[in-house]
Structure formats: C-alpha cells, structure tokens
Structure 1
Amino acid sequence: MWLAAWPVVAAMALSNEPAPLYVLWQERIGFSAATLTLIYAGYIAGLVLTLSLAGSLADRYGRRPVLLPGLLLGLAATALFITADSVAVLGAARVLSGVSVGAVLSAGMAAVSDLAPEGERKLGGLIASTSMVAGAALGPLLTGVLSQTLPHPTVTVFVLQLVLLLIAVLLVLRMPLPRGAAGAGRPGERLPLIPSAPRAHRRDLLAGLAVFAPAITATGFVLSLGPSLLAQLLRTDNRLISGGLVFVLFAAATGIQFAVRRQQVPVQFALGATLTVAGMAALISAVVLTSVALLLAAAVLAGFGQGAAQLAGLSTLAASVPAARLGEANAALTAGGYLMAGTLPVADGYLSDAAGLTTGTTVFGIVVAALAAAGALTVLPRSRDQAS
C-alpha cells in the first residue's frame, strides 16, 4: 500500500516543480501574468480532460494499464521542461504533465485503496490523499533548492524528476495489482465522458466538491501567481524562497491530514472551509499591507484548508463507493476541484494585468472565501445528519 503511493508522489512532484521557475522563465522568454496563468491552465486542462476517462479506464481494465502510460507521458513532459525555450514548449510541457498527473491520480490513488489491508480502507484513503499533497510539496522544494544552488536552474531538477518517474515505472511493473474490478462495465460498454459516482453516492461526491473545490482553488493561486506576488513583495526572484512558499503550503496540507484523521467527516469539512476562508483573509491582508509574513500565513492556512477538505472528500468516497467505481469517483472529485482551480486563477491573471496584482488578488480572495463559506453551509447540515 505504501509503495503504491510512490507513483502519485512522483507525478505530483512534477505537477508543482515549475512553480518556482515561472519568474525565471518570464524574464528569459518574456510573458505576462495572464500568459503565466494560461500556462498553468494548460496543466489543468490536460488534467481534467484525462480525469474524465482515466478513472473509468482504471476501474474497467485495471490500474496498471492506466498508470504506465501516465508515467511515460510524465517522462515526455519532463524532457520538454528541460528544453523549454518558448511559451509554446512550456505550454506543451504543462499540458502533458497535466495528462500524466490525471492518469496517475485516477489509477494511483485507487491502487492505494486496492492494496490497503482488509478493513483498512479509511487508512488507504488517508495514504492516497496524503501522497497527493506530499508529492505536491516535494516538487517545489526540490526546485527551490536545486535551482538556487546548482547550475542550469531550469534543467537540474527535471533531470532528477526523470529518475523519480523511472523508479515509479519499476514499482508499477512489480505491484500485485488486480486486472480490473468486477462490475466496472463490460468491455464493449461505452465509457462515461464525465466521471461521477454511482447514483446512490452522488450526494457524497457533491458534498466533497462543495468544500474541496474552493480549497484547492486557493492553493492554485499560490501555485500560479504566488511566486510573482512574492517577488513583488520582496523584490527578489530567489527560487529557494518561492519554492519554500509552495512547499510550506503542501507540507501544511499533508500534516493536517494526519492531525485530523481521527475526527469525524463533518469536523474535517468544517475545518477545511474555515481554514480556506482564513487563508483568503490573510492573502488579502498580505497584498494590502505588503506583508511577506501574512503571505506565508495565507499559504499555510490555504494548505490546511485543502488538506482537511481533501481528506474528508476522499475518505467519504473510499468508505462508501464500491471498488468497481472508486477510480471514477476519485477522478470526479479531483476533476471538479481542479476545474475551479484552473478557471478562477486565469480570470485573476487577466484582472491583475488590467487592474494590478493587488486588486486582482483581493477580488480573488473574496470570491474564494465566499464559495468556501457557501460550501460549508451546504454540506455541514447533511454531514451531521449522516453522522447521527
């Protein structure tokens, strides 16, 4: 079960490794904040489109036939990052990395649950969820350290990423994974274009999305525009600092999941929403007061919010959805969250170009906080009823 989490860690490391390098690429290639968020949106597009099918494919044909192509595409994306010298190549690398992450998340998190000991599916959900955010924390940390201390900053970290992905390929080849889940659909049956959960569990899926989507959107801002905002506040492009900002965010998202794993799902949902709102309040205060300390606090709180909301959503699905549909259900939760996480930061990027980064960040924070609060008001009464 623990080894099955490694491909998810490796893929998620690739997903966030470019974040500290965006400022460097902006200087070298020359592009605006709006273009930067479009590049990030390319990753989201590849991810969401892949999630639409990868979960169902993993349920029907097994986890391995989805994991291996996903990891190979990750290797191709990594090679493009190494040679990126234009917006087009950078955008292509981000799209491919999104496709890779979509495939690996769909099949990989379900594989962790498949290999969980009997009666420990909740533990499997915890490990699947934390492997996602642990990888997201590892990537920018590696980038920050290696690109700041070694030559060729946009190359070194991706050479190491090739090694991480190759190890994941070897592990997948040796994992005792089932070929496919019974009841996942007949070979000739049409695959769903939009991932979902079985009808009886769709309200569980929607409940998870109501809090998880705003939470991951908050962290999406830090991934796309956070380094630029940090550079504006500190007037520096130090990649160790910007990589550390993203690392702290996802380290917080990892740590809180272990801290609240024994809490009831309603408590986890409430924490996710409350911490997301607090993170957005800190973000708005950071740009108004030009405070690096508040920006760091915003990153930590946003990470806490995503971690708690993600654990609640994935644990709910792992405990209730049959194994034959779990990959698709996980994909639906992830895709729905990332869809919002891709849309709002892009809109904020264009607003920031037109009205300034301070105005764009303030509007973004208010919108995300309102969505998180509305999600909590929708989910918590129902969650309490189920708990009782």
Structure 2
Amino acid sequence: MWLAAWPVVAAMALSNEPTPLYVLWQHQIGFTTATLTLIYAGYIAGLLVSLSLGGPLADRYGRRPVLLPGLVLGLVATALFITAHSVAVLGLARLLSGIAVGAVLSAGMAAVSDLAPDGDKRLAGLIASASMVGGAAVGPLLTGVLSQTLPAPAVTVFVVQLFLLLGALLLVPRMPLPPIRADAAAAKGRWLRLPSVPRPHRRSLWVSLAVFAPAITATGFVLSLGPALLAQLLRTDNRLLSGGLVFLLFAAATGVQFAVRRLRVPVLFQVGAALTVVAMAALVTAVALTSVPLLLTAAVLSGLGQGTSQLGGLSTLAAVVPATHLARANAALTAGGYLLAGTLPVAAGYLSDAAGLTAGTTAFGIAVAALAVIGAVAARAHHTFPAPARARAEEPRQIAPTAPGREEAS
C-alpha cells in the first residue's frame, strides 16, 4: 500500500513544481497576472478532463492501464517544461501535466485502497490523501532549492523530475493489484461519463465536496498568485522563498492528517471549514497590511484546512463506496474541488489586473470564506459518516472488501 502511493507522490510533485518559476517565466517571456492564472487554469482543465476519463476507465479495466499512460504523459510534460520559452509551450506543458496528474490520482489513490491491509479503508484514505498533499509539498521545495542554487533554474528541477516519474513507471507493473470485478451495470454502461458515485452515496459525496472545494481553492490561490504576491510584498523574486511558501502550505496539509486521523469525520469537516475561514481572514489582512508573516500564516492555515477536509472526504468515500466505483468517486471529489480551484483564482487574477492585487485578493478571500461556511453548515446537517478508526477497530473485520453487505456495514 505504501509503495502504491509513490506514483501519486511523483505526479503531485510535478503538479506544483512550476509554481516558484512563474515569476521567472514572467520576466523571461513577458506575460500578465491574468495570463499566469490562465496557465494555471490550463492545468486544471487537463486535470478535470483526465479525472472524467481516468476514474471510469480505472474502475472498468483496472488501475494499471490508467496509471502507465498517465506517467508517460507526465514525462512528456516534464520534457516540455525543460524547453519552455513561450507562453504556448508553457501552457501546453501545464495542460499535459494536468492530464497526467488526473490519471494518476484517479487510479493511484484507488490502488492504495485496493492494497489496504485487511480491508482497512480508513488507513487507505489517510495514505492516499497524505501522498497527494505530500507530493504537492515536495515539488515546490525541490524547485526552490535547485533553481536558486544551481545553474539553468528552469531546467535542472525538471531533469530530476524525469527520474522521479521513471521510478514510478518501473514500479507500477510490479504492484500486486487485485483484478477488477466490475459490476454488470458498469460493464454495460458508457465508458465515457462524468465521475460519480452510486445513488445511495451521492449525498456523502456532495457534503464532502462542499467542505473540500473551498479548502483546495484557498490553496489554489497560493499556487497561482502566491509567488507574485510574495514578490510584491518583499520586492524580490527569490524562488527559494516562493517554493518554501508552497512547501509550508502542503507540509501543513500532510502533517495535520496524521495528527487528526482519529477524529470523527464530522469533526474533520467542521475543523477544516473553520481553518479555511481563518486562513482567508489572514490572507486579506496580510495584503491590506503588506505583512509577510501574515501571508505565511495564511498559507499554513490554508494547508491545514485542505488536509483536514480532504482526509474527511477521502475517508468517507473509501468507507462507504464499493471498490468497483471507488476510482470514480475519488475522481468526482477531486474534480469538483479543482473545478472551483481553477475558476476563482482566474477571476481573482483578472480582477487584480483591473483593480489591483489588493482588491482581487480581498474579493477572493471573502468568496472562499463564505463557501466554507456553507460547507460547514451542510456537513453539520449530514448524519451518515463512517466511524473513526478506534470505533471501527472494535467491529468485526470484513475479509473481502466487495463482500455482500459491505455498504450497509460501512
């Protein structure tokens, strides 16, 4: 199970490695803040398309046939980043990296759940979620250190990334993945469909999404506009600082999941929403006061909010959704979150070009905080959540994850 998380870590490292280099590319190529957010939106677009395809394909044909092409596309995107000297090439690289990440996330996180010991889906949800945000933390830190200390800053880091992806590509064929037993309805259904979950579990998905989407949107702002905001406040384009900012965010998102893993899911959702609201308050205040410490605080709080709410969402889906639909369920949660995370930062980027970075950041913070409050209210009204790890440990174990009655037991 732990080795199965490696492709997810490698893909997520690629997803955020370009972030500290945005300011450098802006100076070298020359493009506006709005264009920067559009490049980030290209990544989101590729991610959403890939999640829509990857989840159903992974549930029907298996995890490996989706993981391998996803990692190959990641290698192609990495090669394009190495040679990017125009907005077009940079945008194409970001688009392909989104497609690669979506494929690896949808199939990779389901593979982690498939290999969970004795059907311990709660642990699988923790490992899948931690590998996602852990890889997202490693990528920008790697970029910041290598690009600031070695020559050819926009090349060196992606050469290293090539080896990370090649290692994952060699690992996937050796995974002892169980065969996929798709149900009859799925076998007869369309192979191309929007990611979803069976009807009895859709409410759990929507509630998870209501809390998770604002949280990941808050981190999306830091990924797209954080380096530009940091450069404006500090009047520097130091890539180690930009990479450190994103690393702090995702390191917090990774660590908090291990700290709160035994909390009940409803508590995870309430805490995650509250952290997102406080993070947005810190972000708006940081811009108004031009305070770098507050900006760092906002980044850490955003990471804590995403990690907590993401753990609640993935744990819920891993516990209640059958294995034959789990890749689609994970894809639906991730796609819904990134859809909002791609829309609001772009709007904030255009507003920042028109009215200033302060106005764009303030409007963004207020919108995300309001959505987080709505998500907390929706989660509070929902009553069907999986039991925490301690309670589940006292229940009789289900030997086969797909055994009859699994959904009712969960």
What is the TM-score when the length of structure 1 is the normalising length?
A: 0.98
Residue aligning to 1:177? 177
Residue aligning to 1:342? 342
Report the secondary structure of 1:143's partner residue.
helix
**Residues 79 and 294 (structure 1), Cα distance of their counterparts in 2 relative to 1, 3 Å cut:** same
**Residues 326 and 64 (structure 1), Cα distance of their counterparts in 2 relative to 1, 3 Å cut:** same
1:280-332: CA deviation from partner (whole Å, max 9, x where unpaired): 00000000000000000000000000000000000000000000000000000
Asked if structure 2 preserves the Cα contact closer than 8 Å seen for 1:270 and 1:376, the reply is: yes
How far the C-alpha of 1:121 sits from its partner, in A, is 1.1
Amino acid at match of 1:75: L
Residue aligning to 2:202? 202
Residue aligning to 2:162? 162
Check if 1:333 corresponds to 2:317.
Answer: no
Q: Tell me how far apart the structure 2 counterparts of residues 373 and 187 of structure 1 sit (CA, whole Å).
A: 40
Q: CA RMSD in A?
A: 1.3
Amino acid at match of 1:341: A
How far the C-alpha of 1:192 sits from its partner, in A, is 4.7
Asked if structure 1 preserves the Cα contact closer than 8 Å seen for 2:112 and 2:128, the reply is: yes
Residue aligning to 1:252? 252
Amino acid at match of 2:339: L
How far the C-alpha of 1:73 sits from its partner, in A, is 0.1
Residue aligning to 2:272? 272
Asked if structure 2 preserves the Cα contact closer than 8 Å seen for 1:60 and 1:185, the reply is: no
How far the C-alpha of 1:234 sits from its partner, in A, is 0.3
How far the C-alpha of 1:148 sits from its partner, in A, is 0.2
Q: Tell me how far apart the structure 2 counterparts of residues 353 and 49 of structure 1 sit (CA, whole Å).
A: 28
How far the C-alpha of 1:194 sits from its partner, in A, is 1.1
Residue aligning to 1:123? 123
Q: Tell me how far apart the structure 2 counterparts of residues 105 and 120 of structure 1 sit (CA, whole Å).
A: 20
Residue identity over aligned pairs, in percent, reads 75
Residue aligning to 1:105? 105
Asked if structure 1 preserves the Cα contact closer than 8 Å seen for 2:316 and 2:386, the reply is: no
Pairing 1:1-388 to 2, within 5 Å after superposition:
1-183=1-183, 185=185, 187=187, 189-383=189-383
How far the C-alpha of 1:386 sits from its partner, in A, is 7.9
How far the C-alpha of 1:374 sits from its partner, in A, is 0.8
1:8-58: CA deviation from partner (whole Å, max 9, x where unpaired): 000000000000000000000000000000000000000001101101100
**Structure 2 gaps, min length 5:** 389-410
Asked if structure 2 preserves the Cα contact closer than 8 Å seen for 1:63 and 1:178, the reply is: no
How far the C-alpha of 1:231 sits from its partner, in A, is 0.1
Asked if structure 2 preserves the Cα contact closer than 8 Å seen for 1:133 and 1:250, the reply is: yes
Q: Tell me how far apart the structure 2 counterparts of residues 187 and 322 of structure 1 sit (CA, whole Å).
A: 15
Q: Tell me how far apart the structure 2 counterparts of residues 385 and 349 of structure 1 sit (CA, whole Å).
A: 37
Report the secondary structure of 2:154's partner residue.
coil
How far the C-alpha of 1:176 sits from its partner, in A, is 1.0
**Residues 166 and 377 (structure 1), Cα distance of their counterparts in 2 relative to 1, 3 Å cut:** same
How far the C-alpha of 1:385 sits from its partner, in A, is 8.4
Report the secondary structure of 2:119's partner residue.
coil
Asked if structure 1 preserves the Cα contact closer than 8 Å seen for 2:316 and 2:385, the reply is: no
How far the C-alpha of 1:186 sits from its partner, in A, is 5.3
How far the C-alpha of 1:178 sits from its partner, in A, is 2.7
Report the secondary structure of 1:240's partner residue.
helix
Asked if structure 2 preserves the Cα contact closer than 8 Å seen for 1:125 and 1:315, the reply is: yes
Q: Tell me how far apart the structure 1 counterparts of residues 386 and 153 of structure 2 sit (CA, whole Å).
A: 51
What is the TM-score when the length of structure 2 is the normalising length?
A: 0.93
**Structure 1 gaps, min length 5:** none
Report the secondary structure of 1:232's partner residue.
helix
Q: Tell me how far apart the structure 2 counterparts of residues 387 and 161 of structure 1 sit (CA, whole Å).
A: 39
Number of matched pairs: 388
How far the C-alpha of 1:181 sits from its partner, in A, is 3.0
1:211-258: CA deviation from partner (whole Å, max 9, x where unpaired): 000000000000000000000000000000000000000000001100
